[in-house]
Amino acid sequence: MMDSPYQSKGTFLNKIMIIRKLMNPFFRSEFCVIVIVLCLSSYGVCLETRTLTPSTVLRDSDTFVSQGKIFSLGFFSPNGTTRRYMGIWYYVSKVSVVWVANRDRPLNDSSGTITISTDGNIVLLNGNNETVWSTNATTSPRNTSAQLTDNGNLILLDQSNNVSLWQSHEHPTSSFLPTLRLSHNTNTGEKVRLNSWRTSQDPNYGNYFVGLHVSIGIPQLFSWNQDRPFWRSGPWNGRVFTGVMSMYSVYVDGFSMVNEGGTYYFTRSFRQNLIVKDILNPDGILTEEIWNNQTGHWDRSYKGPDVDCDVYNNCGPFAFCNQYNSPICQCLRGYEPLNKQQWDGGNWTGGCKRKTPLQCERSNNATDKSKEDVFSQLRMVKVPDLIQWSPGLENECRSLCLRNCSCIAYSYDTDIGCMHWSETLIDIQQYQADAGLELYIRVPYSGRDKEKDKKVIIIVLVIISLVVISICLFFSWRWMSKRKRKNVIEQQEAGETNLLNSTPIVLRNPEDNVNIEELPLYSIEKLVNATNNFHTANKLGEGGFGPVYKGELANRKEIAVKRLSTVSGQGMEEFKNEVAVISKLQHRNLVRLLGCCVERYEKMLIYEYMQNRSLDVFLFDQSQMVLDWRKRFNIVEGVGRGLLYLHRDSRLRIIHRDLKPSNILLDKEWNPKISDFGMARIFGGDQNQANTRRVVGTYGYMAPEYALSGRFSEKSDVFSFGVLVLEIISGRRNSSFYNEELSLTLSGYVNPIKFFCQARV
């Protein structure tokens, strides 16, 4: 934390009052006061300027501000010191220095000034008018000026042609700023790198550097402790650094790599109005923090190295590091500790050595292919350093390595190509999540064979167990098949027939009985083929009734198959109820029933397929980007029309009783359709409400009188519709919105009387 560079306005006004008291009455006129104010302003009291010219002098209390007031340039002192430095910081309430000019030559007092010298350079002068720091961009007098951009870049411009002569972004200190380029010129070896402060109170040159290193055209980001690697990102594949798991925010915010004639550089652009600082700290830790306007603090979003396994070559050669293992370091397959005593004591720097020499001399012997070297796979890793590259496709990478006796490992990435290693394998890190690449380590046949022999007993026991279980399952299947065979054959011969054209579905209440005519019946065989045997890849979701699968009939028509689960709390009553209700309903905002399947142990309903699934998938999505206000309005209107049809316009008056986002399906045009009528009840023409002992539905969407006493009516659906509208507007679940002080859920906020009364309490 740095001292504020801003001087209070009180000091400025005090100077004016003292001068007025010293002046005689003639000079105390308002006109003279104005003249004095102008003179003091030109002298540099609390000056904020946008452009620095040869006639401008920035004194210790002055600041040089970017156009959008994002960055400021001026003088600062590290916390707890009196030394003064020229630097750039974010224009926020807490000063955060991102660039320092005279980091190795501080001023001892506040007499320093910043200006443009006669030779056109930006210079920092001490109280004796001696040059402490200079851009050293020109050697002859020029008409120049300086600007501070909203990217934190201090630029020296030649005003005659508006050409940049010098930029602070080309001479970074410890911070990575927007549009700043960390580069590596592979032709000259020149690098532009970050350099840490010596300590948190001393901006002098520190021990740690961060920069880009390019070998054989593969860029990697490195952190060095002086000249020793401290951290490595893994190779860049054109999209990501393959060895960094926790930098996803970087890729979202415009991280890019560019090659200009052998000079590789990466840069970064941030989202608008986002204030981010990436700083290399004195201990070598690179942190990213985002400014929080609400709290007035910096929130950390990234830190690296973060764990022991992030440190370069933490486990030594031929070993890999996994933070979730115990111990974290393990030898690669086919290797053993170089010094077992040190290894067991937790000193892993010595690494590992090969157990058995490679047998690569047999690789090209066609008569002895079974004895050639093999490869052991290590998944989800940051591949080793010292990469070599070979042209070739994925299926050629293994054979290329196998034909080369010096090749000890290989890896393949679609964007990088075939990578291999020939000397040593260092800095390998394994992850738990789906990240990194697959590494294939070359091991001798005998070594791998011995390791397999250790597991022979376990493998044999597992195989025997699987065989016994398979036999039991086979006979169980045959026994069940015999019981079903007759019914299955009849259904297969019938194909799609009339399900209940002569038999009505009789519901619990006689007045609710409905005769179903010409409802197609699908055979179980057709549905098995349509859903790929109810494969999990075809599963769309699962509700109280059971799972729902996507299917495709022989005529290429897409369907949704709702399969009654054997463990479901709902049974034949709900199944019949849904068939009875929905088969007679025809409305553009109600899902259409295409048919059903009723076989001895299976009960399924076949619906039209909704391409956009259910409303809750998009409504409660974290990005909130799919449903714009037009779509939300159309969804509310469509659900309202469907509900009005159920209550007033259909042949049957129907109370849905389970209206919620997961029961609103969306077609490819985003038209809403009400679904899941398993809980619905049919009312008579003169019936307004009913009671039930079995309260069904979803809490949070139930009307109070229904949830407490089992009394339901059209008003019950209207209440559920109201909660649904609130969720569509807010994008939040009713159950997730809770005010601890007022004990209100989302629906509670629509009652201003209740809100007022509880607030008074």
Catalytic residue ranges: 658
Stretch (H or E) spanning 90: strand 85-90
Looking up tokens 């801003």 gives 6
Closest CA to 114 of 169, 63, 77: 63
User: At a CB cut-off of 8 Å and minimum separation 6, what does 453 contact?
Assistant: none
In 3D space, the residue among 97, 125, 289 whose CA is nearest the CA of residue 203 turns out to be: 97
The amino acid at residue 58 is L
Q: Are 130 and 103 in contact (CB under 8 A)?
A: no
- Tell me which amino acid residue 421 is: W
Question: Token match 């750039």: residue?
Answer: 88
Q: Which residues pair with 65 in a beta bridge?
A: 72
Place of tokens 């999505």: 621
Nearest CA to 615 out of 560, 675, 662, 667 is that of 662
Contact predicate 551/562, CB 8 Å: no
| Dihedral sign for Cα atoms in the order 545, 547, 552, 553 | negative
Task: Report the sign of the C-alpha dihedral through residues 325, 330, 332, 335, in that order.
Answer: negative
- HSE-up of 5 (CA within 13 Å, CB side)? 31
Q: How far apart are CA 413 and CA 429, in angstroms?
A: 17
Distance of CA 690 to the CA centre of its chain: 49
The DSSP result for 243-257, as a single string, is T-SS-HHHHHTTEEE
Report CA Rg, the chain: 37
User: Are the C-beta atoms of 86 and 52 separated by less than 8 Å?
Assistant: no
| Distance set, CA 188 to CA 220, 262, 454, 698, 754 (Å) | 18, 9, 54, 69, 74
User: Is residue 642 within 8 Å of residue 650, measured between CB atoms?
Assistant: no
